[in-house]
Amino acid sequence: MKQGNQLAEANKKQAKKGEETSSNRLSPTLRPGNLIVLTGPSGVGKGTLTAKLLPAVPKLVKSVSVTTRKQRPGEQDGVDYFFRSKDEFDLMCQHNELMEHAQFAGNWYGTPRGWVDEQLEQGNDVLLEIEVQGANQVSESRPQSLLIFVSPPSFDELRARLQGRATETPEKIVERLEKAERELKQRHNFHYEVINDDIELSVQNLIHIVYAERCRIRKK
């Protein structure tokens, strides 16, 4: 009889838990966030757009990438990047702890899977500002991701922006432009294209996209 009471009590608890789970599924406050991928060629203005977008949209956070490059003065581990050695980075890859990873300018960069998933479960939208190679990796592993491609108003304008930086050799600029030409041919693989001709207008377009996606009815 005692065992029967214990079983009945366990069933009641399980039923209550099921009701709470069902209720949580219908609660808009517990809706998981969207994974948003912002990509485009080097020099197109992804960093500037991200810096203006983040404070304009509540519950939108930028993913903190893992990198093997050296920590610079003023940078904080876990805030600017997760700074790791090459061996530590390789170990993370082996343990499938990175959603995507790519080499850039001699260093490796990757998106930590656990950190991103934790933010999404808390209802935050997570923005990944990454290279096109990494964006394609995320698209394959997370097909529900929102993919945004940032394009320059013209190829000549992109060339002028890269040259205007005055931080790279002419050979490096040519290399970046050749890579950009290949990447621009892939923009049809993304959900949205934002042509970054006017910064403020581009930011407004991104804001509209983020809010529109929050209203989308998701398929189970």
pLDDT tens, residue by residue, 138-148? 999 999 999 99
Show the domain range for 119: 32-215
- Count of structural domains, the chain: 1
In a domain, 21, yes or no: no
22 found inside a domain: no
Residue linked to tokens 């500002």: 129
Confidence (pLDDT) at 169:
85
Residue 26 lies in a domain: no
- At residue 74, does pLDDT exceed 70? yes
Does residue 15 sit within a domain? no
- Please report the beta strands in 97-217, taking only residues with DSSP state E, as ranges in sequence order: 98-104, 107-112, 125-129, 146-151, 192-195
d(CA 174, CA 154): 16
Confidence of residue 178 (pLDDT cuts 50, 70, 90): very high
Instruction: Confirm whether 192 is domain-assigned.
Output: yes
**Which amino acid is located at 40 in the chain?**
G
Q: What is the pLDDT of residues 194-211, one digit of tens each?
A: 999 999 999 999 999 999
Rounded to two decimals, the pTM is 0.79
Q: At what angle do helices 46-53 and 199-215 cross, to 10 degrees?
A: 60
Domain annotation covers residue 173: yes
Per residue in 1-26, pLDDT tens? Answer: 444 444 345 445 444 544 444 444 44
Q: Residue 89 sits in a domain of what CATH number? A: 3.40.50.300
Supply the pLDDT for residue 45: 94
18 found inside a domain? no
**Inside any domain, residue 2:** no
The DSSP element (H or E) to which 66 belongs, if any, is strand 66-67
98/114 Cα distance (integer angstroms): 8
Tell whether the model's pLDDT for residue 189 goes beyond 80: yes
- pLDDT, mean of residues 167-187: 90
Instruction: Give 13 or 129, the one with higher predicted confidence.
Output: 129
pLDDT at 6: 44
* Half-sphere exposure for 119 (CA within 13 Å, toward CB): 20
Q: What is residue 15's predicted lDDT score, i.e. its pLDDT?
A: 47
